[in-house]
Amino acid sequence: MNATLRPLLVLLMLLLLLALLPAARAQQAAAPQLPPADFVAPALPKPEESNAERGKTQPGNNAPFWRAVRESGNSEGFTTLPGVEKGVLIQPFVQYPGSRLTTAGEAWREVRNRWILPYGGALLLIVVGAIALFYWRKGVLGGHVPDTGRRVERFTPFERSAHWANAIAFVILGVSGVVMAFGKFFLLPVIGGTLFGWLTYALKTAHNFAGPVFAVSLIVVFLTFVRDNLPRKGDMQWLARFGGLLGEREVPSHRFNAAEKLLFWGGVFVLGAIVVASGLVLDKLIPGLEYTRGDMQLAHIVHALATILMLTAFIGHIYIGTIGMKGAYGAMRTGYVDEAWAQEHHEWWYDDIKAGKIPAQRSRTGENAPQAATQT
Ligand code: HEM
């Protein structure tokens, strides 16, 4: 096996193992229990019929049953919920200032459906549209300095392993999250209720397992890249001129420029911590919490808001890291860049390499250094 791939594989397997153990335990704990033999379901207005009808078009959807529970005003019954909410079928009725009498669950649902989904969805579409417009008008950035054929190492195999473990988990989480949140608007009408039901169930399970992998790899990414993302002289100048990215010549920067540093501190550190913490609550992986419905609703709202912001930030990162900038993807795929790339995009980093302050080859062997080849 290619020696570059070996550490990546080992890291991925380690992360997977770390992630699977608690998640598997949580899944086991959440296995459905049957009600006791003497349990008598509350008399509700025709719940079976309406549930059965709904089940034909949307398998697994038992909304009519819960509507009937709410309308009956009877919130007590048999539940498999442990803890303080044992035996409580639905949350108590509340009246928020300026709103009608409702349950906290219904209020959460309205926040989700009326605020988070429409505004969050619009933000995501606007960002994708803005990037498409930028690509159409400006095309691929970089490529102004001709390649020299001499290579310097930009990312060691360890750095790339950490990055790709995190990026793969992020993509799984992003795709499954978007389908769970918005799929009913763009997928359900196309593939129908049955397939959509199974797909979202599969994606929800994938989301639960990829979450812990993302959490662990995010910490590794943070520790790996924090040093070169500390603020340095010149960052403000870079920001003030937007790096010169729109012009012919980029503003000089060290190994990472000010935009990368902003993404690192805002996206990886702040949003990453919020997304991971709220996600671990939703996965019930933080010991000592009650996990009441109220806790879960709050965690869900925080998680949804932070993930939408994180998605918008990283859609930009993924764009620049793939089709948006010549040579960027090659840096993270092979670990190496042409000296011309280093000089054009990170001039002070290149100067330090030329001056011998930073080694051009940081990992132990250079055996995998690609010889002069066209950068992707
Ligand atoms: C498919 C998804 C992704 C792709 C294609 C991608 C691509 C890239 C590329 C090409 C670079 C090198 C940039 C350079 O040389 O300056 C990079 C750097 C980096 N990426 Fe990603 N990335 C992805 C997802 C992520 C995710 C999800 C995170 C973290 C949440 C992340 C965090 C970083 C960090 C910390 C760096 C180092 C630069 C810095 O500190 O700003 N990436 N990525």
pLDDT along the chain (376 residues), means of 10: 53 52 45 52 53 74 79 76 82 76 84 96 98 94 92 96 98 98 96 94 96 97 98 96 86 97 98 97 92 93 98 97 96 96 97 95 68 45
* 355 Cα: distance to centroid of ligand 1 (angstroms): 27
Compute, in angstroms, the gap from residue 258 CA to the centroid of ligand 1: 14
Rounded to the nearest whole angstrom, what is the distance from the C-alpha of residue 284 to the centroid of ligand 1? 29
pLDDT (0 to 100) of residue 11? 57
pLDDT at 49: 59
**Which atom, in ligand 1's list, is nearest to the CA of 221?**
35
The CA 105 to ligand 1 mean position distance, Å, reads 38
For residue 28, what pLDDT is reported? 44
Ligand 1 center to 37 CA (angstroms): 55
For the Cβ of 229 lying below 6 angstroms from any atom of ligand 1, the answer is yes
pLDDT at 58: 72
| Whole-prediction pTM | 0.81
Using a 6 Å cutoff on CB, does residue 376 contact ligand 1? no
Residue 216 beta carbon below 6 angstroms from any ligand 1 atom: no
> What pLDDT, on the 0 to 100 scale, is given for residue 78?
81
**DSSP state, 141?**
B
Residue 373 has a pLDDT of 41
Ligand 1, residues 332, 344, 347: which to mutate, most atoms within 8 A of Cβ?
A: 332
Q: What share of the chain is helix, strand, coil (3-state, %, to 5)?
A: 65, 5, 30
> Does the Cβ of 266 fall within 6 Å of ligand 1?
no
Q: Which CB contacts under 8 angstroms, 24+ apart, belong to 310-315?
A: 310/267, 310/271, 310/272, 310/275, 311/124, 311/174, 311/177, 311/178, 312/123, 312/124, 312/127, 313/263, 313/266, 313/267, 313/271, 314/170, 314/174, 314/263, 314/267, 315/124, 315/127, 315/128, 315/131
Q: Which atom of ligand 1 is nearest to the CA of 328?
A: 10
Share above pLDDT 70 across residues of the chain, in percent, rounded to a whole number: 83
Pick the residue whose CA is nearest to atom 24 on ligand 1.
167
Atom 19, ligand 1: residue with shortest CA distance: 163
3-state secondary structure of 117: helix
**Which atom in ligand 1 lies closest to the alpha carbon of residue 272?**
30
